[in-house]
Amino acid sequence: MSTLHALDLRVTSDPANLAGVRKSIEQFAAEQGFGPDAVAEVGLVVNEAMANVIRHAYNGQTDRPMHLSADADPRQLTIRLRDWGNGVDPSRLGRPEHDPLNPGGVGMVCLKKWMDDITFTRQPDGMLMTMIRRRK
């Protein structure tokens, strides 16, 4: 199956970049025919994934590279998030108990709920996260 369209964004790890990336991935998903609920879920997942990279892989540094790419075909939307951080696979970490009084702790929950497949592939100098959302 051929790719319908592709998105390629390179930004720094400044949290100020999250809103623009989220809008771009939401627009891309909408252009590929995903409905409003799926578009919003994909946007939130990407936002959470990038925030987690900033917080955990980059320890809050705002000048580190992040590369988000996406493509769609008739079956699914595939999103890749590449970082050059510490290379820790968050899916292998134990999940701390969620405390509603403290922010955070819901990124992996959202990922598992709204994406059909999530893969973390360690790179020699960071991590590649691949997320798939199938068409329903």
- The model's pLDDT over 47-100, given as tens digits with 9 standing for 90+, comes to 999 999 999 999 999 999 999 999 999 999 999 999 999 988 776 655 555 555
- The CATH number linked to 52 is 3.30.565.10
Tally of domains within the chain: 1
Query: Can you give the residue range of the structural domain that contains 22?
Result: 5-134
- pLDDT at residue number 101: 53
Q: In the prediction, which pLDDT does 110 show?
A: 73
Query: Rounded to an integer, what distance in angstroms lies between the CA atom of residue 133 and that of residue 64?
Result: 27
Burial track 76-95 (b if 16+ CB lie within 10 A, e otherwise) = bbbbbbbbbbeeeebeeeee
Which of 49, 10, 42 minimizes the C-alpha distance to 28? Answer: 42
Token couple for 130: 């691949």
pLDDT in tens, 99-115: 555 555 556 677 788 89
Nearest in space to 81 (alpha carbons), one of 113, 107, 109: 107
Query: Which pTM was predicted?
Result: 0.86
